[in-house]
């Protein structure tokens, strides 16, 4: 039987979820899958797009595990979108001229930004807000701009405005509707949102449209003419006025489309051609709607994958509609809506709580029979995770208790037990309360991360994580496991609950909070070392809102601080203090480094690099590399192998030498381990850390192998990972001597190198390998396979044979010959390597970005 061919057009969030669904169902291993992606990068989290401006990199946003495509034999073609479909021949031809034959075609082309047809909409300085490339172009252009305007006050419009503000621009928001976020919130919610956003320094223009983008003599944006007759002076415009389904490819192929756009699909997401599916924002569902949220797109992806798998009889998955509820944080403001948020049903009533001073607005829509129909939450959406699953049922408590802040409602609290088992907790992955309960009772999950891994709940937008934790605790309690959720012996509330109480009741002192909300036995007392600094921090963070003095050492606040905060420095073992100046983003000029060095010299201070504990040097030409290495090697440096799948760093805290809490010399151990394992090549990069005590300042439990000091020796943790898929390391052995620790790490690393797959981190390997941690412990600690002597010998060979790659290169004239820009002209440096100044340093001088649009190609 020939291998079926599946061609997927589009590789966004929904396209990637479809591929994952095929892999989970075993379809990927039985078919040839080809993916045509228009963008130059694989699928990334478009929901979190704006976080790029907060420091997340495009790699951080990626939704594709490093070896996912290779592992499942999927062919991904980047920057090569589909151009034509021949349904009769069942072929797809890409922009690069490649032609692919399909048995099944899946269209996941998404949507495109709607740009109002106003004059000069394509002028230099006009952008849309849709892709990472859009953000890169906006970021670059904003460096020469002072004012920006966003056309559209919806979800993406507010995110775009936040991005422009973060780039240092004076920012305007222009919304044609009479309020912001007109689809999600009502007039009251829009008013609360408007007031909060204006407090942030943004200027909002509602009830007006854009008539024209004005330009200067060079054709660049210099203003906007609005429909109310006013003119905005702006030199950058972002259009975020909604999206439209990308259905042109389907139209050209003769597939049925809706009158207002969207590829018509049935309940299994098939188009008018049974061999073609459409999923996500490009599809017009059988209920006549185009869904613009990721959760419905994921459900469509699951439906199409199930149809391709050929579900068991009676188990046919259908997509007939989806929940349009949403919870977001826009410009730092929580906004959520669910169900019939606008009260369209006959005879419904509104229950409203509004606090204009703090920007909080909550409205519930209640039916004539008491049924919760929907709601709007602005400024405080913590209850969203509990309210949304109750939609369509009569809540077990009075509606006003559902909107009043903590401390102001009736004593009856609404908890996870109030939700039915069929209530959908995670709308992104359609996970019910019953499934979450089953993860605890049937799969022995005892923590939220374990339940996430088991059910996928909470791994999408993350809005359900809070209620997920409540459900896990509730189920553990029902099983007889006592879970005390209180902050400490003084307070029965969690830190989050205390925060809400302080905010809602404007409590400005620890004593007042303890007397009004503390446990009976603690009232009138002096508190404890847990809750005093916690409450002090809460009051300090809310000071502008509740009317408290924001200075942490003012009055009673001073007594709530711990030793370090009390002196605004870190107390060390001998009573001295360490001073840590802020270096934002890790970026620092040579001049500032000299200043720190001079201060340390003049005052006799000990200095130490923190964080990753290395300094990157960017901007060298290839012909300059040996010259730089020679100088570094002469000074005693060697390669850090940042370029290879090898050991990167072994971080450390200052340990017992300086720290009053340290119980072992973590610095010496970290140096010994790094020198021992330097240059060790492995299936993936290796990171390590050594903490001098259980306070874990070196973050050892997020590393491939991490070491934490105890009074009796060292604890060894393995399989940790940070990054896009964080994993807490597992304890392999404890209270080890120096020699025992090194011996076990030798064995662990060599066993990992020996058995891991290509590009497989230790975290993934530990979860994949048969028997998991238990098996690894048996092998590495107890020598169950009788190979430990061999593993130790392998490591001994590595240690004995280590050579510094930089030194080896600069001492070999033949090897040096490859470090030239042009083989036929080795003395000529690469003229394309250029730099421009930025923040007293340099950055690459990149060529002008070419942005492809529906109208053509525009320089940005």
Detail the DSSP E strand segments found in 275-348: 276-278, 283-284, 326-330, 333-339
- 648 plus 776 within the same structural domain: yes
Q: What is the mean pLDDT of residues 559-586?
A: 54
734 has pLDDT over 90: yes
Summarize pLDDT for 751-773 with one digit per residue, the tens. Answer: 988 888 667 899 988 887 888 89
pLDDT at 848: 40
Q: What is the mean pLDDT of residues 326-331?
A: 71
Q: Which of 224-233, 653-662, 843-852 has the least mean pLDDT?
A: 843-852
- 76 plus 215 within the same structural domain: no
pLDDT at 573: 41
Q: Which of 69-83, 522-536, 798-812, 822-836 has the least mean pLDDT?
A: 822-836
At a CB cut-off of 8 Å and minimum separation 6, what does 837 contact?
Answer: 843
pLDDT at 232: 93
- 286 plus 198 within the same structural domain: no
133 vs 820 pLDDT, higher one:
133
817 has pLDDT over 70: yes
**Would you call 335 helix, strand, or coil by DSSP?**
strand
pLDDT confidence of 402, banded at 50, 70, 90?
Answer: confident
CATH number at residue 363: 3.30.390
Neighbours of 315 (CB within 10 A): 7
Q: Are 697 and 674 in contact (CB under 8 A)?
A: no
690 vs 539 pLDDT, higher one:
690
Helices (H) and strands (E) in the chain, counts: 28, 38
* Cα-to-chain-centroid distance, residue 828: 43
- 171 plus 284 within the same structural domain: no
pLDDT confidence of 389, banded at 50, 70, 90?
Answer: confident
- 80 plus 186 within the same structural domain: no
Cα–Cα dist 641/632, whole Å: 14
Of 187, 208, 241, the position where a domain reaches its end is 241
- 214 plus 271 within the same structural domain: no
* 582 domain residue, yes or no: no
- 650 plus 788 within the same structural domain: yes
- 227 plus 343 within the same structural domain: no
pLDDT at 313: 36
Q: Which pTM does this prediction carry?
A: 0.54
The percent of residues in the chain predicted with pLDDT above 70, rounded, is 84
- 350 plus 303 within the same structural domain: no
81 has pLDDT over 60: yes
pLDDT at 850: 36
Of 241, 272, 287, the position where a domain reaches its end is 241
Token digits of residue 272? 């008018």
* 475 domain residue, yes or no: no
Of 528, 548, 567, the position where a domain reaches its end is 567
Highest mean pLDDT of the ranges 423-432, 616-625, 759-768 = 759-768
pLDDT confidence of 498, banded at 50, 70, 90?
Answer: confident
The percent of residues in the chain predicted with pLDDT above 90, rounded, is 34
445 has pLDDT over 50: yes
69 vs 389 pLDDT, higher one:
69
CA distances from 290 to 8, 55, 247, 412, 629 (A): 20, 33, 12, 40, 57
* 62 domain residue, yes or no: yes
How many domains does the structure of the chain reveal?
5
CATH number at residue 105: 3.50.50.60
**Would you call 185 helix, strand, or coil by DSSP?**
coil
* 471 domain residue, yes or no: no
- 197 plus 271 within the same structural domain: no
Q: What is the mean pLDDT of residues 135-152?
A: 93
pLDDT confidence of 311, banded at 50, 70, 90?
Answer: very low
Give the domain extent around 503.
Answer: 495-567
- 409 plus 265 within the same structural domain: no
447 vs 1 pLDDT, higher one:
447
* 748 domain residue, yes or no: yes
Q: Are 241 and 114 in contact (CB under 8 A)?
A: yes
Neighbours of 266 (CB within 10 A): 16
* 328 domain residue, yes or no: no
Cα–Cα dist 440/472, whole Å: 7
Summarize pLDDT for 824-838 with one digit per residue, the tens. Answer: 667 777 676 677 777
409 has pLDDT over 50: no
Taking Cα atoms as reference points, which of 679, 699, 680 lies closest to residue 689? 699
* 845 domain residue, yes or no: no
- 92 plus 129 within the same structural domain: no
């Amino acid at each position: 039987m020939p291998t079926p061919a599946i061609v997927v057009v589009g590789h966004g969030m929904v396209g990637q979820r479809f591929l994952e669904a095929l892999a989970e169902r075993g379809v990927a291993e039985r078919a040839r899958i080809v993916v045509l992606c228009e963008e130059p990068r694989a699928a990334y989290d478009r929901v979190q797009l704006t976080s790029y401006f907060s420091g997340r990199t495009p790699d951080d946003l990626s939704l594709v595990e490093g070896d996912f495509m290779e592992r499942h034999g999927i062919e991904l073609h980047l920057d090569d979108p589909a151009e034509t479909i021949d349904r009769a021949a069942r072929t797809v031809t890409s922009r690069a001229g490649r032609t692919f034959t399909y048995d099944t075609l899946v269209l996941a082309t998404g949507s495109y930004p709607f740009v109002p047809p106003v004059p000069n909409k394509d002028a230099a300085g006009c952008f849309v807000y849709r892709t990472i490339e859009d953000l890169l172009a906006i970021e670059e252009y904003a460096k020469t701009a002072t004012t920006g305007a966003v056309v559209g006050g919806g979800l993406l419009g507010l995110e775009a405005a936040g991005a422009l503000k973060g780039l240092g621009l004076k920012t305007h928001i222009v919304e044609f509707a009479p309020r912001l976020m007109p689809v999600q919130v009502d007039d009251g919610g829009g008013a609360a949102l408007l007031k909060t956003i204006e407090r942030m320094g943004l200027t909002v223009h509602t009830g007006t449209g854009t008539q024209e983008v004005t330009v200067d003599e060079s054709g660049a944006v210099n203003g906007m003419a609005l429909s109310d007759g006013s003119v905005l002076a702006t030199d950058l415009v972002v259009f975020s006025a909604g999206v439209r389904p990308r259905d042109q490819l389907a139209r050209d192929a003769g597939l049925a489309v809706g009158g207002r756009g969207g590829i018509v699909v049935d309940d299994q997401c098939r188009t008018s051609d049974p061999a073609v599916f459409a999923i996500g924002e490009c599809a017009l569902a059988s209920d006549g709607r185009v869904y613009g949220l990721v959760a419905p797109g994921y459900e469509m992806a699951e439906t199409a994958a199930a149809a391709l798998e050929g579900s068991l009889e009676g188990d046919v998955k259908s997509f007939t509609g989806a929940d349009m509820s949403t919870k977001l944080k826009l410009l730092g403001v929580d906004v959520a809506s669910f169900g019939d948020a606008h009260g369209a049903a006959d005879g419904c009533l509104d229950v409203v709580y509004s606090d204009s001073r703090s920007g909080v607005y909550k409205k519930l829509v209640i039916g004539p029979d008491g049924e919760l129909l929907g709601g709007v939450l602005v400024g405080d959406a913590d209850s969203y995770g509990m309210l949304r699953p109750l939609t369509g049922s009569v809540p077990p408590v009075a509606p006003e208790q559902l909107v009043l802040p903590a401390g102001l409602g009736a004593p009856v609290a609404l908890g996870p037990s109030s939700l039915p088992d069929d209530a959908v907790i995670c709308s992104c992955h359609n996970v019910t309360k019953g499934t979450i309960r089953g993860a605890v009772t049937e799969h022995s999950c005892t923590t939220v991360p374990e339940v996430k891994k088991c059910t996928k709940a909470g791994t999408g937008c993350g809005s359900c994580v809070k209620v997920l934790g409540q459900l896990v605790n509730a189920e553990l309690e029902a099983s007889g496991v006592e879970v005390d959720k209180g902050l400490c012996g003084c307070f029965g509330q969690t830190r989050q609950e205390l925060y809400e109480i302080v905010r809602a009741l404007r409590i400005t002192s620890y004593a007042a909070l303890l007397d009004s909300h503390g446990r009976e036995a603690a009232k009138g007392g002096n508190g404890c070392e847990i809750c005093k600094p916690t409450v002090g921090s809460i009051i300090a963070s809310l000071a502008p809102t509740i009317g408290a003095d924001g200075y942490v050492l003012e009055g009673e606040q001073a007594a709530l601080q711990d030793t370090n905060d009390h002196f605004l420095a870190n107390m060390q073992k001998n009573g001295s203090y360490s001073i840590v100046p802020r270096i934002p983003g890790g970026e620092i000029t040579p001049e500032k480094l000299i200043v720190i060095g001079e201060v340390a010299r003049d005052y006799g201070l000990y200095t130490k690099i923190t964080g990753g504990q290395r300094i990157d040097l960017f901007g060298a030409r290839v012909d300059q590399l040996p010259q730089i290495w020679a100088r570094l090697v002469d000074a005693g440096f060697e390669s850090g192998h940042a370029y290879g799948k090898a050991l990167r760093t072994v971080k450390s805290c200052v340990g017992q030498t300086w720290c009053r809490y340290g119980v072992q010399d973590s610095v010496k151990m970290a140096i010994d381990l790094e020198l021992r394992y330097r240059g060790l090549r492995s299936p993936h990069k290796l990171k390590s850390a050594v903490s001098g005590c259980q306070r874990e300042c070196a973050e050892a439990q997020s590393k491939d192998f991490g070491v934490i000091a105890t009074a009796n020796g060292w604890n060894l943790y393995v399989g940790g990972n940070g990054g896009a898929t964080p994993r807490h390391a597992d304890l392999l052995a404890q209270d080890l001597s120096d020699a025992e620790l090194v011996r076990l790490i030798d064995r662990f690393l060599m066993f990992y190198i020996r058995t891991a797959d290509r590009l497989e981190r230790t975290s993934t390997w530990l979860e994949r390998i048969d028997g998991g941690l238990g098996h690894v412990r048996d092998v590495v600690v107890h020598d169950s396979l009788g190979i430990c002597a061999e593993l130790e010998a392998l490591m001994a060979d590595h240690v004995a044979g280590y050579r510094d790659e930089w030194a080896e290169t600069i001492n070999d004239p033949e090897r040096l010959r490859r470090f030239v820009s042009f083989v036929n002209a080795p003395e000529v440096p690469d003229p394309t390597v250029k730099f421009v100044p930025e923040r007293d340093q340099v950055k690459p001088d990149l060529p002008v970005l070419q942005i492809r649009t529906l109208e053509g190609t525009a320089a940005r």
